[in-house]
């Protein structure tokens, strides 16, 4: 894994993927892009990215291939093709380095790494934290799982996307770390919702309140970035509710498989599922406060 990386395939140009791909173009890499909805890739194409007609075409002839798609089933289909046939590992040249930045099942990341190695390639799982703000600014926290050699080979490119790149262990370890991140995030978002709801109910100025408590021990990225949006009902997505439901469901399954019952995780997952059932899955995660607004003065945890 010591060849110079110049040609990159990027699969998935959504809210997070598009600005990340753009940063690599600005850093001087040659990008070929693919997205199921071509319109979402048009801004990148207009700036010089080459369009590929499918995932396999996007992977062929590249030094490195990034994937950032929606769900585990999407990851599996991209890497292994429909019904386990073809896919980007089969299409890529020997020596290609795959980087899956989707949050997905750790076991799937292990399968991808094994298949890549068998094909003379390498793969790492590298989910991120930092939202669309971090994606645009290149300040993401990147949690990598894979061999030391593969992670080291990816780091020069990843450095354009994140300010913290840590190898967590072998294949799948990055995904397990992301599960821990999402578990912590879920409780924090709910806590910020409750603080905003309480402050508004007792007549405080939400902006002043958030400024005060955000500068103390209660401060967090979620409070500083999502708290103000909660206060004014700005639910524009930096990260979709539907995707957090996916992430938390994976985390809950992984925990239960190990006889670990995480009460806060289960509670917040239930709340988000309730919002998704109300067709709010396309909203940002800060829309969790709508759960409290709908409950009014009732106990939102009372089923």
Question: Per the structure block, which two tokens stand in for 1?
Answer: 């894994």
Q: What is the dihedral of CA 178, 180, 181, 184, to 10 degrees?
A: 160
Say how far apart CA 162 and CA 130 lie, in whole Å. Answer: 9
What are the phi and psi torsion angles at 19 (to 5°)? -65, -30
User: 62 and 96 in contact (C-beta within 8 Å)?
Assistant: yes
Residue identified by tokens 């896919």 is 87
User: 125 and 146 in contact (C-beta within 8 Å)?
Assistant: yes
H-assigned helices in 202-280: 206-214, 221-232, 241-257, 263-277
DSSP letters, 37-69, are SGGGGHHHHHTTPEE-SSHHHHHTT-SEEEE--
Task: Give yes or no: 178 in active site.
Answer: yes
- Report how far apart, in Å, the C-alpha atoms of 75 and of each of 11, 57, 203, 285 are: 10, 16, 47, 22
Q: What is the dihedral of CA 204, 207, 209, 212, to 10 degrees?
A: -160
Catalytic pick among 60, 85, 114, 178: 178
In this structure, are strands 97-100 and 64-67 parallel, antiparallel, or unpaired?
parallel
Side-chain-side CA neighbours of 9 within 13 Å: the count stands at 29
Exposed (0-12), middle (13-18) or buried (19+): which is 40, by Cβ within 10 Å? middle
Q: Which residues are the active-site residues?
A: 178
């Amino acid at each position: 894994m010591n060849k110079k990386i110049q040609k990159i395939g990027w699969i998935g140009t959504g809210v997070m993927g598009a600005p990340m791909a753009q940063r690599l173009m600005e850093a001087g890499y040659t990008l070929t892009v693919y997205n199921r909805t071509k319109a979402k890739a048009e801004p990148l194409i207009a700036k010089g990215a080459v369009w590929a007609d499918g995932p396999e075409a996007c992977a062929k002839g590249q030094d490195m291939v990034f994937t950032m798609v929606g769900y585990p089933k999407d990851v599996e289909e991209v890497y292994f093709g429909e019904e386990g046939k073809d896919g980007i590992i089969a299409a890529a040249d020997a020596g290609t380095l795959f980087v899956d930045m989707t949050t997905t099942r750790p076991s799937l990341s292990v399968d991808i790494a094994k298949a890549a190695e068998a094909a003379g390639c390498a793969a790492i799982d590298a989910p991120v934290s930092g939202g669309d703000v971090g994606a645009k600014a290149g300040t993401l926290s990147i949690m990598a799982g894979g061999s030391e050699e593969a992670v080291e080979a990816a780091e020069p490119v990843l450095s354009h996307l994140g300010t913290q790149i840590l190898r967590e262990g072998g294949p799948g370890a990055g995904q397990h770390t992301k599960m821990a991140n999402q578990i912590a995030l879920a409780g924090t978002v709910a806590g910020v919702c409750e603080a905003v709801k309480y402050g508004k109910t007792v007549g405080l100025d939400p902006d002043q309140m958030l400024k005060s408590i955000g500068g103390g021990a209660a401060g967090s990225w979620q409070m500083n970035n999502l708290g103000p949006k909660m206060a004014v009902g700005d639910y524009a997505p930096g990260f979709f509710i539907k995707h957090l439901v996916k992430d938390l469901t994976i985390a809950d399954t992984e925990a239960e498989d190990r006889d670990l019952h995480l009460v806060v995780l289960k509670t917040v997952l239930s709340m988000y599922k309730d919002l998704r059932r109300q067709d709010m899955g396309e909203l940002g995660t800060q829309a969790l406060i709508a759960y409290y607004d709908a409950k009014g003065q009732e106990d939102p945890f009372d089923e």
